[in-house]
Structure 1
Amino acid sequence: MTIYEDRVDAGRQLARRLLPLRGQDVVVLGLPRGGVPVAFQVAMALDAPLDVIVVRKLGVPSQPELAMGAIGEEGARVLDERTVRYFGLGEEQVAAVEERERAVLEERTTRFREGRERVDLTGRTALVVDDGIATGATARVACRIARQLGAARVVLAVPVAPEEAVARVAEADEVVCLATPHFFTAVGYHYRDFSPTDDDEVVALLDAAARRHLPQLPGPPGDGAGAGTGPVDQDVRIPAGGAELEGHLVLPRPGAGVVVFAHGSGSSRHSPRNRYVAEVLQEAGLGTLLLDLLTPREEADRANVFDIGLLAQRLGAATAWLQQLPAAASSPVGWFGASTGAGAALWAAAEPGARVRAVVSRGGRPDLAGPRLGEVRAPTLLVVGGQDPEVLALNRRAAQMLHCPHRLVVVPGATHLFEEPGTLAQAAELARDWFTDHLGASGGEGGGPR
């Protein structure tokens, strides 16, 4: 059975299948809420604009999670007559559900489109993306809306769906589905992390996608990101050995300590877990640089994801770029690595003259740095879940190889992704305390180790 780590992982895998569409006149349309994180990854890989099609499921009154149909923008509506008949629902019952859901749909449409024009679909290929389909009702409505808005071709793309639901989507010219399990229970069963996506995350992803096509602030040595004296909170593009890395820089004040994130396999700068940790660090007065160490095209080759030397080189290049910014020239830098990103951070930290004051690994693979671990000089914190025995064993062996100041902390009850209640917060607080100890205290000027 196919299992995705989270919606980001599913989006990246789906994007690899859809790469032949790159360069064509495509608009990616995510279904809020859960489909938008998947669609964002697809849009980034295809270098295509991202928009939403707002659809609401019509749930059976006695079982709201069971769809009897769906409604969408422009008055679109699909009913599953078999479900309606099975539950003996009359027109008035269906109408009452539709009226309630229509009000929610209109409110959500206003929220998502506030200050943002709808992307014109006329004559273009509409690529409708969701995190999975069960009955297919919402997907069918979305495809119908795309057609009504002028799309010349409609493609539906999802990570997982039952075969019979895929077969019912007659509204699409093509359906791309990565997995059609024989025994299908629910979409969420095919994700390790299927936590809800909220409206704020949808808006943030739409804004991030829109900014990709705006002029970016020039990098050093001229004016640009961090050139002034005020706080910085913006997307950046970082040159690294012929590639251009995308990131988001937050710098509360000139000279503040900055933590650069090295994401692991299947994750990205938009990972909800990494963004949560970044927010905890920012509340402590630290800056953060969330970035992807590989381009979407490079990620399509899985060998690159585990090329620790390449990832370490990119991390070093991003740090050098950061420290050339006028506002960050005196900022002490720390590295936060998760999964394979932790191996890359420690690999890079072993380089002579590495520009890093502290390293934190969350659920990481420090063992991937191999014999280089003995050359690391930056104080290193290893945080591992107590219910992640294999990775815990690897971290214990790695800790024995470290000669720098280091600490291994086990978070009770946490598995590899720290998705259990309260465990990610514990990991974030440990990282915050480690970095403020070595990069500078909350509210103070950035400084060296204390």
Structure 2
Amino acid sequence: MVDSNRHPVRFADREDAGKRLGEALRERDLGIDIVLAIPRGGLPLGRAVADALAVPLDVAVAQKMGAPGNPEFAIGAVAADGSVWLNDEAIDGRGVSREYVERMREETAAAARRKEATYRGSRSPLELRGKRACLVDDGVATGATVRACIERVRGDDPDSIVLAVPVGSPRTVAELESLVDEVVCLETPSSFRAVGQFYERFDQVSDEEAQSYLAE
């Protein structure tokens, strides 16, 4: 992890960030066997990282669970296999009922499964058991979807899990270090407010574009 009290680097776009991240991972020589990108924003980076390491690329899919009346506020996240991370502090603080949480968990898991099927198509998921897996996204703010994806990947019994992102909230990155074997984060600026502020171009990635990275 890089502690960026200096002026942080801005990435031209996700492909540029992926190339820099791939170089950093290659220099560390972590013996990574497979790259798992978190759609949609993680796929352009995942493609660049997988190419830099000459390893296969697959997806790890999770979706945020929104709070009652405020779907943009994440009270947790659920992966395609049902693996869940819950923000208990937010749930308790907002008085969210357990019935709501369970209903949203089921609905969100179903949505994540549909998204995973859309991206992967007829391709079978890659085997992770005994492999050294690298989970990649375009950045971490609260880290909700990343946490659910970590649980998803851990359930497939890999030998180790590396989380690799170009930029992240210092607090969130520090919290995530306890959940994986290693975190590689190029920038952890004290000025962090949102992932997009560290990209010159941060357009939304379409489903079609995301799928094209897996097909390469």
Superposition TM-score, scaled by structure 2 size: 0.90
Superimposed CA distance per residue, residues 224-253 of structure 1 (whole angstroms, 9 cap, x where no aligned partner): xxxxxxxxxxxxxxxxxxxxxxxxxxxxxx
Alignment of 1:44 onto 2:37: no
**How is 1:380-395 mapped onto 2 (pairs within 5 angstroms)?**
none
> Using the alignment, how far apart are the partners of 1:36 and 1:22 within structure 2?
22
| Letter matched to residue 171 of structure 2 | E
Identity, % of aligned pairs?
38
Correspondence for 1:140? 147
Alignment of 1:179 onto 2:165: no
Q: CA deviation at 1:180?
A: 0.8
Instruction: Report the CA distance shift for 1:67/1:124 in structure 2 as closer, same or farther (over 3 A).
Output: same
Superposition TM-score, scaled by structure 1 size: 0.44
Alignment of 1:165 onto 2:166: no
- Segments of 4+ moved more than 6 angstroms: none
Q: Is the CA contact 2:80–2:110 (under 8 Å) kept in the aligned structure 1?
A: no
Q: Secondary structure, in 3 states, of the residue corresponding to 1:75?
A: coil
Alignment of 1:191 onto 2:189: no
> Using the alignment, how far apart are the partners of 2:175 and 2:60 within structure 1?
20
Gaps of 5+ in 2: 1-7
Instruction: Report the CA distance shift for 1:67/1:38 in structure 2 as closer, same or farther (over 3 A).
Output: same
- Give the alignment's Cα RMSD to 1 decimal: 1.6
| Letter matched to residue 57 of structure 1 | K
Residues paired across the two proteins, number: 208
| Letter matched to residue 106 of structure 1 | R
> Using the alignment, how far apart are the partners of 2:213 and 2:76 within structure 1?
27
Correspondence for 1:114? 121
Q: Is the CA contact 2:82–2:109 (under 8 Å) kept in the aligned structure 1?
A: no
Q: Secondary structure, in 3 states, of the residue corresponding to 2:174?
A: helix
Q: CA deviation at 1:64?
A: 2.3
Q: Secondary structure, in 3 states, of the residue corresponding to 2:189?
A: coil
> Using the alignment, how far apart are the partners of 1:180 and 1:30 within structure 2?
20
Q: CA deviation at 1:22?
A: 5.5
Q: CA deviation at 1:25?
A: 4.7
| Letter matched to residue 50 of structure 1 | L
| Letter matched to residue 153 of structure 2 | A
Q: Secondary structure, in 3 states, of the residue corresponding to 2:148?
A: helix
Name which one, 1 or 2, has greater alpha-carbon Rg. 1
Alignment of 1:10 onto 2:17: yes
> Using the alignment, how far apart are the partners of 1:73 and 1:105 within structure 2?
5
**How is 1:22-421 mapped onto 2 (pairs within 5 angstroms)?**
24-169=31-176, 170-208=178-216
Q: Which one has more relative contact order, counting CA pairs under 8 Å at least 6 apart?
A: 2
> Using the alignment, how far apart are the partners of 1:81 and 1:12 within structure 2?
36
